[in-house]
Each structure stands twice: as C-alpha cells, then as structure tokens.
C-alpha cells in the first residue's frame, strides 16, 4: 500500500513552543504537499493567489519541523515514484530492442535457408 503525504499529521505549532499551531497554516502546508504529490512544482503552487509566496513557504520550512518533515516525506515519495518509472521505461526499451533484434535475426535466418 502506498502512503500519501496527507497521512502525516501536520501540526506545525509555533516555532518556539512546539504547540498552538495555526489551523489555516497547517491546512495550507498539507495542501502544498498534496499538490506537490499531484505533480505541481512549488513555483506553480506559489503562483496561486490562494497560496503563500515562495519565501513564506521557505520560512515555514525553516521554522516548523513538522511541516519540513511532511515536505521531505512528499519529496521522497516523488523521487521513489520517478525512479520506479525510469526502471519501467528502461525495461520497456530493452524489450522493444530485443523484439527488433529477434525479428531481424529471424529474417536473416530465413534468407540463409532459401
């Protein structure tokens, strides 16, 4: 079963006390991670008028360890997905090349027999 970034509880809390999080910021942080997981870049997300700008997100990442954890978790999932996609593509290319080589080899064998 694949985990989704929003499965983490993102209680950012205040930087100094570790508690008393702003629910709105917590929801926005989770939305950012969800949208990243959905394929958008951070730049695209931050251009949305309903989202904070990039410097604000960077500041949140520096000040709120739980948001940073969720963000890093999301980025790792994306990296794993991309690595798996690259592996599948390499296998598909090898199969395609093998099919072509087998076809050429069979054609050459037929010419030799005739």
pLDDT digits (tens, 9 = 90+) for 87-109: 999 999 999 999 888 877 776 67
Residue 97: per-residue pLDDT? 92
CATH superfamily of 5-82: Homeodomain-like (1.10.10.60)
The Cα 57–Cα 69 span in angstroms is: 13
**Per-residue pLDDT for 31 more than 60?**
yes
Measure CA 15 to chain center. 26
Residue closest to 31 by CA, chosen among 51, 17, 53, 11:
51
Query: Tens digit of pLDDT for each residue in 56-70?
Result: 999 999 999 999 999
Q: Are 69 and 75 in contact (CB under 8 A)?
A: no
């Amino acid at each position: 079963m694949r985990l989704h970034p929003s499965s983490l509880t993102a209680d950012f809390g205040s930087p100094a006390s570790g508690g008393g999080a702003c629910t709105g910021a917590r929801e926005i942080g989770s939305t950012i991670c969800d949208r990243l997981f959905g394929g958008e870049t951070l730049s695209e997300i931050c251009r949305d008028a309903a989202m904070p700008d990039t410097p604000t997100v960077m500041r949140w990442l520096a000040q709120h360890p739980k948001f940073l954890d969720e963000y890093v978790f999301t980025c790792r999932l994306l990296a794993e997905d991309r690595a798996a996609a690259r592996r599948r593509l390499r296998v598909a290319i090898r199969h395609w090349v093998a099919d072509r080589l087998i076809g050429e080899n069979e054609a050459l064998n037929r010419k030799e027999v005739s």
